[in-house]
């Protein structure tokens, strides 16, 4: 062959969330594992996604707490934001987590790490860094990258994506964000709280995959905090200005100009597989990702794919879940299949918006009238009242027979409140499993029990129940 041949039991292409989870698990279970990564270990989540974005949101929340301290009887001045120090905080968090994803850690585990770009040269061989790599099984976990919409003029102006935003050390004077999905909304609130003027533009509604009633709570908060949300608007073109950018939009029959200092494109993501030569390996793919079955096998049964590269739900926890499915299939020949009935996701605005299972709209489409909506508002929580965070609600979707099929929570720490609902869906539990537990007082968790309890309220407080109680009372 003329190149050094490296052989193993499993070869993972991509050192992001999915790839690292497969590589760590396979190595520790005794498989000869090869991991190929050309860029930074940890992938998008560590370096330009979940970790830096949530770190920036933490900084922004601290600024909000200082700004609103007077409501608690505390006298403080408006916070002075040093954005370069905010940047440093975000980078410190990344550095603190990075050793867990490092080449050194994986080498110490016994994994062979190859730094370089990979591509298939046949249906069972990959080439990377001048080496030919053969393995019994391959895993493609190359993730995704920001989608760049075909807006006239966008290629003539500087702009951020999530891959470059967290390298910025200067607070934008006016940040224009293209895209009102989770990334756009989170970064809009973070920058607004830190002192930027922010405008968000979207061709459709904000957070379109979420429950509209819950999204409305987030919309209201962003608007109150001063974020300009312009939904269902067409961007005509983008122009360079001396000190920033100008975005021309078509709105209500007119063209309007919005001038900003900086531009962030947050208009979705596309899978990374362009340079892998997948056709050579006999792997079928499309615009949305690599084709896989429920066992995450590609059309080449030696090759699996995991994480963002398969399209669908592009979350770090889905990538980790995919890794577990692949390990059971590839190492133990156990026919594990994906089951996303209990898939959770969270948008980390303040208030947070969390979802698991079906939304109300999805239940109406799938079940017709055969479901009930159970609800408890944050105003009913004593803990929420003590913290002055009463905006939001818990909404559970339950089948007519009482099985939990979905839950939407919008409010303070909504993501932390989602787990019992996810467990109920995964275990195919009835709503009684939540009404029977004891929730500590005062906690926000009481809201889930309160919502669950409303399933039985029509029966417990019915005319028949009152008659039974009165009848039994006749016997002393």
Binding site annotation covers 142?
yes
DSSP category for residue 149: -
Binding site annotation covers 180?
yes
Question: Is there a contact between 427 and 441 (Cβ–Cβ < 8 Å)?
Answer: no
Binding site annotation covers 135?
no
Binding site annotation covers 73?
no
Question: Is there a contact between 433 and 371 (Cβ–Cβ < 8 Å)?
Answer: no
d(Cα 192, Cα 225) in Å, to the nearest integer? 8
Angle between the N-to-C axes of helices 212-224 and 182-193, in degrees from 0 to 180, rounded to the nearest 10: 20
Binding site annotation covers 54?
yes
Question: Is there a contact between 113 and 42 (Cβ–Cβ < 8 Å)?
Answer: no
DSSP category for residue 440: P
Binding site annotation covers 107?
no
Binding site annotation covers 43?
no
Q: Which of 382, 380, 408 is nearest to 394 (CA)?
A: 408
Binding site annotation covers 15?
no
d(Cα 15, Cα 143) in Å, to the nearest integer? 9
Binding site annotation covers 330?
no
CA 86 to chain centre: 23
DSSP category for residue 335: -
Binding site annotation covers 181?
yes
Binding site annotation covers 42?
no
Question: Is there a contact between 5 and 132 (Cβ–Cβ < 8 Å)?
Answer: yes
d(Cα 51, Cα 285) in Å, to the nearest integer? 29
Binding site annotation covers 7?
no
DSSP category for residue 438: P
Binding site annotation covers 261?
no
Q: How many CA atoms lie within 13 A of 81 on its CB side?
A: 24
CA dihedral 146, 150, 156, 159 (to 10 degrees): -30
Binding site annotation covers 225?
no
Residues tagged in the binding site annotation for NAD(+): 179-186, 268
**Numbered residues of the known binding site for FAD:** 54, 142-144, 308
Residues contributing to the annotated binding site: 54, 142-144, 179-186, 268, 308
């Amino acid at each position: 062959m003329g190149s050094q041949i490296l052989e193993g039991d499993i070869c993972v292409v991509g050192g992001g969330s999915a790839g690292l989870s497969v590589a760590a698990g396979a190595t520790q279970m005794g498989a000869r594992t090869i991991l190929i990564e050309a860029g930074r270990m940890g992938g998008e989540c560590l370096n330009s996604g979940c970790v830096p974005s949530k770190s920036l949101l933490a900084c922004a929340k601290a600024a909000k707490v200082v700004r609103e301290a007077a409501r608690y009887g505390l006298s403080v001045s408006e916070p002075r934001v040093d954005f370069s120090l905010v940047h440093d905080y975000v980078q410190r968090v990344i550095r603190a987590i990075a050793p867990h994803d490092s080449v050194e850690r994986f080498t110490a585990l016994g994994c062979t790490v190859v730094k370089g770009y990979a591509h298939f040269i046949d249906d069972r061989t990959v080439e990377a860094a001048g080496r030919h790599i053969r393995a019994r099984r391959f895993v493609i976990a190359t993730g995704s990258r920001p989608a760049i919409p075909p807006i006239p003029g966008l290629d003539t102006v500087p702009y951020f994506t999530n891959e470059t935003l967290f390298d910025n050390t200067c607070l934008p004077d006016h940040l224009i964000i293209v895209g009102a999905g989770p990334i756009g909304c989170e970064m809009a609130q973070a920058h607004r709280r830190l002192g930027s003027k922010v405008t968000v533009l979207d061709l459709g509604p904000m957070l379109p995959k979420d429950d509209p009633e819950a999204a409305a709570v987030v919309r209201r908060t962003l608007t109150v905090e001063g974020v300009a949300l312009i939904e269902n608007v067409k961007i005509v073109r983008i122009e360079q200005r001396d000190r920033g950018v100008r975005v021309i939009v078509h709105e209500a029959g007119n063209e309007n100009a919005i001038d900003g200092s900086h531009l962030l494109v947050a208009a979705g993501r596309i899978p990374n597989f362009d340079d892998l030569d997948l056709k050579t390996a006999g792997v079928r793919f499309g615009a949305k990702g690599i084709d896989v079955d429920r066992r995450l096998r590609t059309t080449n049964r030696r090759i699996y794919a995991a994480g963002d590269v398969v399209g669908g739900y592009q979350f770090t926890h889905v990538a980790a879940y995919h890794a577990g499915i692949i390990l059971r299939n590839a190492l133990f020949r156990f026919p594990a299949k994906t089951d996303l009935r209990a898939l959770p996701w969270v948008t980390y605005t303040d208030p947070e918006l969390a979802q698991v299972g079906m939304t109300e709209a999805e239940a109406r489409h799938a079940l017709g009238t055969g479901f009930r909506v159970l609800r408890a508002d944050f105003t009913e929580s004593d803990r929420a009242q003590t913290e002055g965070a009463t905006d939001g609600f818990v909404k559970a979707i339950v089948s007519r027979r009482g099985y939990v099929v979905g839950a939407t929570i919008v409010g303070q720490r909504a993501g932390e409140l989602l787990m019992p609902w996810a467990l109920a869906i995964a275990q195919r539990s009835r709503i009684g499993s939540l009404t029977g537990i004891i929730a500590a007082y005062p906690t926000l968790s009481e809201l889930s029990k309160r919502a669950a309890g409303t399933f039985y309220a029509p029966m417990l407080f019915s005319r028949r129940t009152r008659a039974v109680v009165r009848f039994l009372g006749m016997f002393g």
